[in-house]
């Protein structure tokens, strides 16, 4: 090892400062520098240069230069999966700590990951703070991640990644790390609940592992690691230093971003993201483990925040520990079926309702096509009672929706089933299903003037931007042949005229029983 190589955190700070001066002199621009608990990042207006600190923490060991170089190479390889446009090279740094040379000859004293700098304000965390993180950004990232996970390698059966024992041990390790920082008594009740929940979920963890849902994912999907790049949305800065933290259940990856949105007070965007991911992936079997993973991810962020504060960084931010406690306690299973003619606004209303209520939605238009191997926006139009809209296909679709509703309710989520439910017997099946589980049941009855229904259906069918295949012919048949709500059903109904302004907060409060009714 060269005598001038970096060996301490203070060395890295000196090196970052010297590189900043050098880059400013060569570019003529101010260079911004950011410090995390494990790295320094310099932004020169065109490129980003990332240096790893020579630290030993409970979850990583960057003490040796050779190790830091190896993990720089891994960082490059792994992040090119989702962000190849950002990750350019691993660059040796020569010279000395106070007079470094990027790409210098001779022995390297350190290594840097060279990246393309993106515009300020592009991070999801920055956009959220500026109130500029759009729902469409969450939709696109959810679709991107579903495809990424589908293409990712599956963990070998003889490796412990994603096993129940590994998951329990990872949670215990984070709690053990937090104990000295916040006090063991502070987390005693949380430890007890999560231990009990992990034991109850052991079979589910193992089933998901056997089903190939443990894959080489990202591992660190919080808001500051997701970015908007022009029309593209992706993630970067994945876990490179510990394979066990990225070879995980894909649901754990997804849970991280959803949790971080919750921590920042944006339940609407968190459940928007989950809804888009479930629609894209079809991985509803993740629902039983989702809240556990979100609680675990909140604990991870709580630990990182306290480590950073111990290094002199900012301690401000969301109360992740309180969120972990809330997630470990949260259960509110209830069932709502969204009923109405095509064009009545069921999907529009249910979208806004799930965001405000923190609910899981199941759409017949999406799940019907999934049953037949079609993408949500595929055109599956057919004649009356034909193709995937034949009577037996519709029966299979409602049976599938019922099964998925059971998964969601058993996982403790408020659940919305978005279908026409034009036949009374279809509604009755779901009502009896809720009664058998002892959960509240309601009907979201969406209606609008027939002329408005016709305009909406015509516009939607022409645009082909929605999973629904209903056209005007379908609507006209529905108008003359559907079972109106009975009196006993109206007592359970939330009536919505979608031709007037919508108060989604009031609808959510009514459904969740928080409006005094």
Mean pLDDT of 37-62: 92
Better-scored residue on pLDDT, 366 or 515:
366
Residue 60 has pLDDT above 90, yes or no: no
SS3 486: coil
Mean pLDDT of 429-455: 94
Residues 6 or more apart from 69 whose CB is under 8 A from it?
Answer: 90, 108, 111
User: Closest by alpha carbon to 349, among 478, 138, 489, 499?
Assistant: 499
Portion of the chain with pLDDT greater than 90, in percent: 78
Please give the pLDDT value at position 411.
98
Domain segments of the chain: what residues?
Answer: 9-116, 124-329, 334-511
Please give the pLDDT value at position 315.
57
Residue 460 has pLDDT above 60, yes or no: yes
Mean pLDDT of 370-392: 71
Better-scored residue on pLDDT, 343 or 89:
89
* Per-residue pLDDT band at 435 (split at 50, 70, 90): very high
Mean pLDDT of 233-244: 95
Mean pLDDT of the chain: 92
CA distance 211 to 63: 38
Superfamily for the 124-329 domain: Aminoglycoside phosphotransferase (APH), C-terminal lobe (3.90.1200.10)
Residue 33 φ then ψ, to 5°: -130, 135
Two domains, one topology: 124-329 and 334-511: no
Superfamily for the 334-511 domain: P-loop containing nucleotide triphosphate hydrolases (3.40.50.300)
Please give the pLDDT value at position 160.
94
* Per-residue pLDDT band at 72 (split at 50, 70, 90): very high
SS3 148: helix
Residue 243 has pLDDT above 60, yes or no: yes
Mean pLDDT of 195-207: 98
* Per-residue pLDDT band at 1 (split at 50, 70, 90): very low
- Provide DSSP, 94-123: EE-SSSEEET-SSS-SEEEEEEE---TT-B
Please give the pLDDT value at position 481.
84
Please give the pLDDT value at position 386.
59
pTM of the model: 0.91
* Per-residue pLDDT band at 310 (split at 50, 70, 90): confident
Residue 2 has pLDDT above 50, yes or no: no
* Per-residue pLDDT band at 472 (split at 50, 70, 90): confident
Please give the pLDDT value at position 478.
80
Lowest mean pLDDT among 11-20, 179-188, 383-392: 383-392
The sign of the dihedral angle between the CA atoms of 249, 251, 255, 258 is positive
User: Closest by alpha carbon to 292, among 255, 240, 319, 237?
Assistant: 255
Please give the pLDDT value at position 3.
46
Mean pLDDT of 223-241: 96
* Per-residue pLDDT band at 62 (split at 50, 70, 90): very high
Residue 341 has pLDDT above 90, yes or no: no
Please give the pLDDT value at position 463.
67
Better-scored residue on pLDDT, 14 or 342:
14
Strand order across the 110-116 sheet: 32-35, 39-43, 47-52, 110-116, 87-95, 100-102
């Amino acid at each position: 090892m060269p005598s001038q190589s970096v060996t301490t955190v203070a060395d890295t700070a000196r090196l970052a400062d010297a590189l900043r001066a050098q880059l400013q002199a060569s570019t003529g621009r101010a260079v911004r520098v950011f410090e995390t608990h494990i790295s320094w990042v310099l932004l020169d207006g065109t490129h980003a240069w990332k240096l790893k600190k020579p630290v030993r923490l409970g979850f990583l060991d960057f003490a040796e230069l050779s190790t830091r170089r190896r993990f720089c190479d891994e960082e490059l390889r792994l992040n090119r999966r989702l962000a190849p446009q950002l990750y350019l090279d691993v660059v040796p740094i020569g010279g000395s700590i106070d007079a470094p040379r990027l790409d210098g000859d001779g022995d390297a004293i350190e290594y840097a990951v060279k990246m393309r700098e993106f515009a300020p304000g592009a991070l999801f965390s920055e956009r959220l703070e500026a109130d500029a993180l759009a729902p469409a950004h969450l939709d696109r990232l959810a679709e991107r991640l579903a495809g990424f996970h589908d293409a990712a390698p599956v963990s070998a059966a003889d490796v412990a990644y994603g096993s129940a024992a590994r998951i329990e041990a990872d949670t215990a390790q984070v709690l053990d790390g937090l104990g000295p920082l916040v006090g063991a008594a502070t987390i005693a009740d949380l430890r007890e609940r999560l231990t009990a929940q992990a034991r109850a979920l052991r079979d589910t963890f193992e089933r998901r592992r056997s089903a190939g849902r443990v894959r080489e994912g990202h591992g660190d999907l919080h808001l500051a690691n997701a970015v908007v790049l022009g029309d593209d949305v992706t993630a970067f800065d994945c876990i490179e230093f510990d394979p066990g933290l990225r070879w995980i259940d894909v649901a754990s990856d997804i849970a991280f971003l959803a949790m971080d949105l919750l921590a920042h007070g944006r339940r609407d965007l968190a459940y928007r993201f989950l809804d888009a991911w479930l629609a894209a992936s079809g991985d509803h079997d993740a629902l039983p483990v989702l809240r556990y993973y979100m609680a675990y991810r909140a604990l991870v962020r709580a630990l990182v925040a306290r480590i950073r504060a111990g290094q002199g960084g900012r301690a401000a931010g969301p109360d992740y520990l309180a969120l972990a406690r809330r997630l470990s306690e949260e259960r509110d299973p209830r069932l709502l079926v969204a009923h109405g003619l095509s064009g009545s606004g069921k999907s529009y209303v249910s979208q806004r309702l799930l965001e405000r209520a923190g609910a899981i939605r199941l759409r017949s238009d999406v799940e019907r096509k999934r049953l037949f191997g079609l993408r949500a926006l595929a055109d599956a139009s057919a004649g009356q009672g034909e193709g995937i809209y034949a009577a037996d296909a519709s029966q299979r679709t409602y049976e599938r929706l019922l099964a998925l509703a059971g998964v969601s309710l058993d996982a403790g989520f408020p659940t919305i089933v978005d279908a026409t439910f034009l036949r009374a017997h279809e509604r009755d099946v779901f009502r009896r299903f809720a009664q058998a589980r002892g959960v509240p049941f309601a009907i979201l009855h969406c209606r609008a003037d027939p002329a408005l229904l016709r305009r909406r259906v015509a516009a939607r069918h022409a645009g082909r931007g929605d999973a629904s295949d209903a056209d005007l012919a379908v609507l006209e048949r529905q108008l003359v042949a559907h079972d109106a709500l009975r009196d006993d059903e109206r007592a359970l109904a939330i009536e919505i005229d979608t031709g007037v302004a919508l108060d989604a907060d009031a609808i959510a409060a009514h459904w969740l029983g928080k409006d005094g009714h």
